[in-house]
């Protein structure tokens, strides 16, 4: 079981959630992919309320706790994964595993039982 935590540079910390991953070592790219596919699957199963995902889907509005779709629809997991990987490449968020920043999508992570993966979302500066 790997625990995902979302934080922002302003100190906000959303509830953590777990995802069962059988492999003990996995590239960061694959960890992000599995996380995104899980959150999209959960949203698509209910299609109500806010989408609380790693990155903002297209045609949505940012809300206090996530994103609201302008029209009710299913979110495409592949497209959402591509957005997340692009955001990582542009420093839209950082990934910390055991107090260590992971900088390469192809770096293999050691995912022992109880590993916490923190996604630190960077908040743009006002006026900059």
Residue 74 covered by a domain: yes
Judge whether 56 and 41 are in contact, CB under 8 Å.
Answer: no
Read off the pLDDT of residues 84-128 as tens digits, 9 standing for 90 and up: 999 999 998 999 998 899 999 999 999 988 899 999 987 655 554
Nearest to 121, CA basis, from 56, 50, 61, 72: 56
Residue 128 covered by a domain: no
Read off the pLDDT of residues 39-60 as tens digits, 9 standing for 90 and up: 999 888 887 777 777 876 766 6
Total domain count for the chain?
A: 1
The residue range of the domain holding 57 is 2-121
């Amino acid at each position: 079981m790997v625990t995902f935590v979302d934080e922002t540079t302003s100190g906000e910390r959303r509830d953590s959630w777990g995802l069962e991953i059988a492999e003990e070592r996995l590239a960061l790219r694959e960890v992000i992919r599995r996380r995104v596919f899980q959150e999209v699957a959960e949203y698509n199963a209910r299609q109500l309320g806010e989408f609380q995902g790693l990155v903002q889907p297209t045609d949505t509005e940012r809300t206090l706790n996530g994103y609201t779709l302008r029209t009710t629809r299913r979110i495409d997991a592949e497209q959402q994964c591509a957005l997340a990987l692009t955001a990582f490449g542009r420093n839209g968020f950082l990934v910390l595993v055991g107090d260590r920043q992971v900088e390469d999508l192809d770096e293999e992570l050691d995912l022992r039982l109880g590993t916490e993966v923190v996604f630190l979302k960077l908040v743009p500066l006002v006026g900059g």
